[in-house]
Amino acid sequence: MELDIYQVDAFADGVFTGNPAAVVPLYEWLSDDLMQNIAAENNLSETAFFVQKGEYFELRWFTPETEVDLCGHATLASAYVIYEFLDYNDPAVVFETKSGRLFIDKEGDRYSMDFPAWSVREIQVTERVAKALGERPAELYMGERDMMAVFESEAQIRNLNPDFRLVSKLDGMCMICTAPSLDYDFVSRTFVPEEGIPEDPVTGSAHCSLVPFWAERLGKNEFHAYQASRRGGVLDCKHMGDRVKIAGKAIIYMRGTITL
């Protein structure tokens, strides 16, 4: 069996920036074990698999360790592959996923994703969290999926040096760290060691929580955001009530064939 595979840098202005994802188009679903093995072999933060079902695509995401319910950058990468390599001309791509239907529009060289908005509730900052992150946040929140630590400055975010073993023991799937910024509306970093991803370079799904939070904090609905990982990535976001728009660019890094 041979399968096409694409490696795409999402939320990127050029190769070696943004967040790399592998994308594997399928005609029919493989076994869960086989898809998990492919994702582990790729050793990227996520590998996306999709199957076209008429006017929409079923989409699933795997880290090297497990399947996840939502992944922003691999969704953007999948839409990029569909438009650039599969002769797709409709104005929007519709994905059916474990998180419901996701809609992706192509606007020039940018891809705009319609994702759910996730609320957060404030919780007490604990020594356990401060020790895991290496610095005590000003505020701490728990969301529908992730924990979010709010710091006072961008410099604190950039200088974080977490203990990933301790972070992996915290509640939530992702540990999102964020702060206001002079050059952007806000900056963030996201750590996911429990899922085999010490630091995710650019995390679209984290902005399902970040955008509603900063909308309330800053009193605005449109944001120019930056994820301050080593690779870095820019996201343009919009708060729309129970949905968020997350937009960015993508670029192909590699295409090839998996031989099984």
Q: Which residues does the annotation mark as catalytic?
A: 46
| Of 181, 256, 249, nearest in space to 18 by CA | 249
CA angle 238, 244, 247 (to 5 degrees): 60
- Cβ neighbours of residue 211 closer than 8 Å, sequence gap 6 or more: 117, 223, 237, 238, 239, 244, 246
Residue 180, beta-bridge partner list: 186
Return the number of other C-beta atoms located less than 10 Å from residue 260's C-beta: 9
**Would you state the structure tokens that stand for residue 18, as one six-digit string?**
């943004």
DSSP three-state, residue 120? strand
Within 13 A of 150's CA, how many CA atoms are on the CB side? Answer: 18
How far is residue 55 from each of residues 58, 83, 92, 95, 152, measured CA to CA in Å? 10, 14, 10, 9, 46
DSSP 220: -
